[in-house]
Chain A
Amino acid sequence: MMKYCDKCKIKINTNNKYCPLCQQVLEGENTKGLIEKYPEYVSVNRKIYPLTKKVIMFATILSIIILLVINLATLDENPELWSLIPIGSIFYFWIVISFGVLSRENIAFRLVILTFLLIALLILIDELSYVASEVNYLGRWSYDYLMPFLLASCNLAISSIILIKRIDYRDYIIYLLTIVFLSLAPIILVFLDIIVVNWPAMVAFGLAIFILLFIIFFFPKSIKDEIKKRFHA
């Protein structure tokens, strides 16, 4: 049975008490077993940060401040900004958790960003901890070994994702191309004499070239399509 509002002269099929137009009490009986046209409001849980997250967050910010204060206070004795190493690591840890693990971004995109940031962090650590007089080795381990090694691993990782998830490979190809081009960086650094030990850079470069040629020969259309899509104006 429809209910009725005497003021608005309208009919309405509901078990609610009031007229939605004028808030008067509706005339008529409730209908048994009536399913309301629209579902009732259930309050969404506002994102409440769980206590553990709050505690960790608090501890992080506190330790960053303490590190900075100690570093700046003792700058006379030790003129290095050593606190950037733990602070950078803390930030990197947060990015790994929030962006690398918890986000729903494309996995290849996450890998590229995390690799890039990790390389930046390691170069920072290397720069800050480098003491020229103490060793005979003139190079920097971050440039010589870690950068090529990390780029090559990222290349391999994304390639394997593409091989495993064959159906979706087009979603990843743009990121593979990005990392392949980033892998050319060590070779440039070799020519600029920043990299002293050449073979890791060569290996990374060789792998990048191999992957690039492989895509060009076996998936030429996908590259063309992807570029067309991404660059249409």
Chain B
Amino acid sequence: MNKESSYDTWFRLDNSGKIFPEVSNHRETNVFRVAVTLTEKVDKDLLQLALDAILSRYPMFKVKLKKGMFWSYFDYNSRPFVVEELKHYVCGEINPRKNNGYLFRVMYRNTDVIIEMFHSLADGAGVIMLLKAIIFEYLVLTGKDIKPDNLVPTKYERPSMEEYEDANSKFYDRKNKKHIPEKRAYRIKGTPLSEDLTGLISGTISTKKMLEIARAKDLTVTEYLTALMMYTIYVTQIQYRGHIKSNQAPVKIFVPVNLRKHFPSNTLRNFSNFVKTNMVMAKDDISFEEIITLVKEQFEKGMTKTELIRKMSENVAFEKNVFLRFTPYFLKKYALKIGYNMLGMKLNTMSLTNIGKIDFPESMQPYIYDVTAGVYSGKFNTLNCSIMSYQDRFKITFTRSIVETKIEREFFRHFTNLGVEVEIESNYVEEY
């Protein structure tokens, strides 16, 4: 069945999206961004036109959040979507009241186009599709002769139901949903930045060099960067301080896994899971090699089909619980909130999201310079990392809610010490 964007359109929140509206606020915004830097200055009016065209093709994003009796849901939003100029906020709260009800923003600055999305609506892969579609449409409007080459969805395709599906529940396995309790993770401490500000520091290195470095250790890029992250946290925060109680909690890096690569689905909505590294680092002599071995092992264990399905089913089972299902929404909301605040977000030290490389059709490539990803950072996860690459520009972006930049510094110095050129970008939040 095909659907045109209309008042009949409404969606249930997908399984992983359900938690975010209840636990998000100005501090824990659950917002992430992807940005494209073009080679020419962005024209605001054409960008607006591109958005208007694309939103009618993607009814999934043309929605607002409404409350029902048992669950909240996305309902068709008839109000106009307006592109804005980029402000200094990085992944700030998306307040639907100030945003015509929309749960995402599209912003521009100089040559950049930035999308920030509330996590309930989609995950990284979903937003990349939206971003590609917008950029394609925008470039067409500026008069460029470009072709989609099946890499970019255009406004001429009709939306398919498959794009809206909640893929998590399709792979639900009743027999494989055991809940495994977890310990609280180590938290990176620091001086909080004022006014909910977020600091952003990106480092760009050569994709080719990055691959070489990871392969030399027989690791994937994500594995290598995760191991390096753990090592950097260890060296800057924990080493020789293992006797302090708070340093004895395990360092856990939450690494999202795009399930579309493991299970067949073309959904635009949330369809990701995670692997997590877990290591108590309260010793004085942990080597990088030791961490690498452990990370490799934990990634392999976490990425097996059985384990991925177990994690999916664990979430879905929660939603299928009859008792919870028929609890009125206004009560359920508090249950979710309390559960999440007590444990949910405290189970990770930080998240490291590798969105991966983004491909554009050959005809579009001359107009695209690079891409940047970013996720919010909050009170418990004071530092997060997201990675995205385009051609030979491999960009690692740190977002932080604290003043200190020690981890970023040591992380990037690791590369410069290997003789790799690193180009830094910063939003200079510390200057404020």
Contacts and interface: CB of A to CB of B under 8 A. Distances in A.
B68 A21 contact: no
Contact of B422 (A11, A18, A40): A11
A94 B201 CA distance: 46
Contacts of A8: 409, 412-413, 416, 422, 424
B244 interface: no
B172 interface: no
A114 to B, nearest CB: 19
Contacts of A12: 423-426
Nearest to A20: B426
Given A8-B413, A233-B326, A40 B425 contact: no
B412 A40 contact: no
B412 A37 contact: no
Interface in B65-107: 66, 68-71, 73, 75-76, 78, 85-88, 90, 97
Given A9-B413, A10-B416, A41-B88, A230 B408 contact: no
A170 B68 CA distance: 14
B421 interface: yes
B200 interface: yes
A167 B78 CA distance: 8
B109 interface: yes
Given A22-B409, A41-B197, A232-B73, A13 B429 contact: no
Interface string B404-415: 010011001100
A23 B422 CA distance: 17
A233 B325 contact: yes
A199 B321 CA distance: 50
A121 B366 CA distance: 68
B7 A170 contact: yes
Interface in A171-196: 171
Interface in A59-73: none
B414 to A, nearest CB: 11
B424 A35 contact: no
B16 to A, nearest CB: 18
Interface in A24-65: 35-44
**B interface secondary structure, majority:** mixed
Nearest to B431: A16
A127 interface: no
Given A9-B416, A35-B110, A20 B424 contact: yes
Nearest to B409: A21
A10 B423 contact: yes
A216 B32 CA distance: 43
A120 interface: no
A231 B78 contact: no
A221 to B, nearest CB: 8
Contacts of B422: 8-11
B423 A168 contact: no
Interface residues of B, number: 47
Contacts of B8: 225
A171 B63 CA distance: 13
Nearest to B109: A39
Interface-centre pick from B7, B66, B78, B326 (highest chain A CB count, 10 A): B7
A42 B413 CA distance: 31
Contact of B424 (A11, A23, A40): A11
A16 B425 contact: no
B26 to A, nearest CB: 11
Interface-centre pick from A13, A21, A22 (highest chain B CB count, 10 A): A21
A38 B424 contact: no
B12 A232 contact: yes
A23 B408 CA distance: 12
Contacts of A225: 8, 10
B212 interface: no
A213 interface: no
A39 B427 CA distance: 7
B68 A232 contact: yes
A112 to B, nearest CB: 15
B88 A232 contact: no
Nearest to A12: B424
A17 to B, nearest CB: 9
Interface in B25-69: 66, 68-69
Given A20-B430, A233-B70, A39 B78 contact: no
B153 interface: no
Contacts of B69: 230-231, 233
Contact of A20 (B7, B197, B326, B405): B405
A44 B431 contact: no
Nearest to B74: A229
Nearest to A2: B423
Contacts of B156: none
A10 B412 contact: yes
Contact of B73 (A39, A43, A229): A229
B126 to A, nearest CB: 22
A39 B90 CA distance: 10
B300 interface: no
Contacts of B424: 5, 8, 10-12, 19-21
B263 interface: no
A142 interface: no
Interface in A96-131: 104
Interchain residue pairs A-B with the least CB separation, the first 5 = A20-B426, A38-B427, A9-B416, A21-B409, A41-B432
25 contacts: A8-B409, A9-B422, A10-B416, A11-B421, A11-B423, A11-B424, A18-B431, A20-B201, A21-B201, A21-B408, A23-B430, A35-B110, A36-B428, A37-B427, A39-B86, A39-B109, A40-B88, A40-B428, A41-B429, A42-B88, A168-B78, A225-B10, A229-B66, A231-B70, A232-B70
Given A44-B195, A233-B70, 10 more contacts: A2-B423, A8-B409, A9-B416, A22-B405, A38-B88, A39-B88, A41-B431, A42-B87, A104-B97, A232-B70
